[in-house]
Amino acid sequence: MHSLYPYPCDMKPIPLILDCDPGHDDALAMILAAHNPSLQLLGITTVSGNGGIAKVTLNARRVATLAGINVPIAEGAGKAILGAIEEAHDIHGESALDGAELPQPKIELSTLHAVDLIAKLLAEHPEPVTLVATGPLTNIALFLKMYPQLKAQISEIVFMGGSASRGNRTPYAEFNIWMDPEAADVVLRSGLPLTMCGLDVTHQALVTKPIFAQLEEMQSELSKTIIGLLKFFAKTYDEVFEMPDPPLHDPVAIALLIDRSVVKSRFVNVQVELSGPLTRGATVVDIYNRLGEEANCNVALDLDFNKFWTLMLDAIRAAATTK
């Protein structure tokens, strides 16, 4: 099936680095980032979140092997800035990527720490690079603190995290931000162009039965593996959140780079609660500027479902043809 998407063929691909915690949705974000002609994936870095750092890093290398993604991969922070760590076994399973047999990794791990790989890639690239974060923001915050001289090499930070409404790890905090609120605070105060893909928009990126049917039609080894992973993800999401169709959060942060019309956003003030006993990690998204603070972040609120899934399914087809 040929692509239905009018890829902008005359534009230079957008260079990006993906910082992630694979994680089922992170795995699909890796595939979209690596297999869309509008993007140039420079490297992948890992951060503890859905699983401990060893698990998510092994998962990143196995997904890269599975999906023909041949870029540097570097391991990052194993703990949040203030030291907390929790694994989301209830959603992603013991391995942090349960549901299908994944190949042994053929992609070697970089000898650099994630923060140093980000610095190396930014310093070497001839133009500013987009950082996409789909896990806790620890590596990104550490990078901003350790390499302030490279800040000008960042064109934008796009992160999956937060919510303008309710949370998922606590009633008001979304998992990625909850895991390291101090890191999120560093990013939100950085003054850099920011785009937030919170639960408001990612809960629209549902893996529905018709989407599963399109995956079934593909009949590739990759699509069969992805079906196994997503069926596991669907089961846990239904058990924990009573959502029969699981939300594929992380690829939304990638898709909007390819085509900004995939989401509808508002430029507003976003802050993170650091001390509330019941609300620590909550993103306070001031949609109506009630606090009178300066806007600092594009917040994606609505998703074009068909555009999103056309991009995601195209990338899976493209990945299936690479060896």
Active-site amino acid positions: 249
| Contact mark string toward Ca ion, 47..76, x via CB under 5 A | ------------------------------
Binding site for ligand RIB (CB under 6 A): 21, 23, 25-26, 49-50, 134-135, 160, 168, 174-176, 249-250
The site partner of 175 among ligand RIB, Ca ion, none (C-beta below 5 to 8 Å per kind) is ligand RIB
Window of 25-33, 39-47, 143-151, 221-229 that interacts with Ca ion by CB under 5 A:
25-33
Phi, psi of 150 (to 5 degrees): -100, 5
| Residue that has been written with the tokens 């105060």 in this structure | 189
Considering only residues 129 to 158 of the shown chain, the ones binding Ca ion according to CB under 5 A are: 134-135
Q: Pairing mode, if any, of strands 263-272 and 297-303?
A: antiparallel
Single out the residue of 15, 16, 24, 26 in contact with Ca ion (rule: CB under 5 A). 26
Amino acid letter, residue 277: P
246 touches Ca ion by CB under 5 A: no
Minimum distance between the CB of residue 323 and ligand RIB, rounded to whole angstroms?
27
Cα 192 from Cα 268, distance rounded (Å):
14
Sign of CA dihedral 136, 129, 42, 116: negative
State which residue, 119 or 137, has the beta carbon closest to ligand RIB: 137
Phi, psi of 213 (to 5 degrees): -65, -40
State which residue, 21 or 314, has the beta carbon closest to Ca ion: 21
Minimum distance between the CB of residue 94 and ligand RIB, rounded to whole angstroms?
16
Minimum distance between the CB of residue 29 and ligand RIB, rounded to whole angstroms?
8
Asked if 21 contacts 45 with a C-beta cutoff of 8 angstroms, the reply is no
To the nearest 10 degrees (0 to 180), the angle between helices 251-258 and 305-320 is 100
| Residue that has been written with the tokens 């937060």 in this structure | 162
Q: Which two tokens stand for residue 48?
A: 């503890």
Q: What is the largest CA-CA distance in the chain?
A: 53
Minimum distance between the CB of residue 33 and ligand RIB, rounded to whole angstroms?
14
User: Site residues (CB under 5 A) for Ca ion?
Assistant: 21, 23, 26, 134-135, 250
